[in-house]
A and B are shown apart, each in its own frame.
Chain A
């Protein structure tokens, strides 16, 4: 069975500084990895995904993530944080079959002006 770990409940970063939100995964076979963002009382917004190919994936709103197979990690990054990036971020994984996405517990990002 697949699983996702987001070790940080909360990440605080100053506006303009780089940010990293950590994610590690466990899956049998090749992983399909995703990042989503959720604003209060809203659904999930897709940020980016890794299926295959280049380990560095670029997504929406300037976010990127790096797939590291040896460390089974898929950390979300952004070079310069904005206050508007403050939200709840979810990492998700599934295997290459038709299984549904499994989500991490989420990391709350707070960007301080």
Chain B
């Protein structure tokens, strides 16, 4: 139980385009999901906390207009990287919380060319 999936697992896009990453809790409902970003050989940095049906809470330094988060249902949160640039290339990991535990998705590797 408590499986979190992400789609796509990797994506390559051209600079200036937008990319949407989906995070789903497969066998549980998650009122709260989190989005993390991981640079090569570095730790996971929390980007934002999303709560179902309300606006996401962004960490300091994260551009909310660039990283659009939507938590439309109890099993789905999406992260849209708008007008992507090469510096947005990174590994994005989502996490869903249930019963006080956080479960992590397998991550999405984004490469912007």
Residues of A within 8 A of B (CB): 32, 36, 41-44, 46, 90, 98, 100-106, 108
Contacts and interface: CB of A to CB of B under 8 A. Distances in A.
A101 to B, nearest CB: 5
Given A98-B32, A100-B34, A106 B105 contact: no
A76 to B, nearest CB: 16
B43 A43 contact: no
Nearest to A51: B100
A105 B40 CA distance: 11
A95 to B, nearest CB: 12
B106 A42 contact: yes
Given A98-B32, A100-B34, A100-B102, A42 B107 contact: yes
A41 B43 contact: no
Interface of B: 6, 32, 34, 36, 41-44, 46, 49, 91, 93, 95, 97, 100, 102-107, 109
Contact of A90 (B34, B43, B105): B43
A101 B43 contact: no
Contact of A105 (B6, B32, B43, B91): B43
Contacts of A41: 91, 107, 109
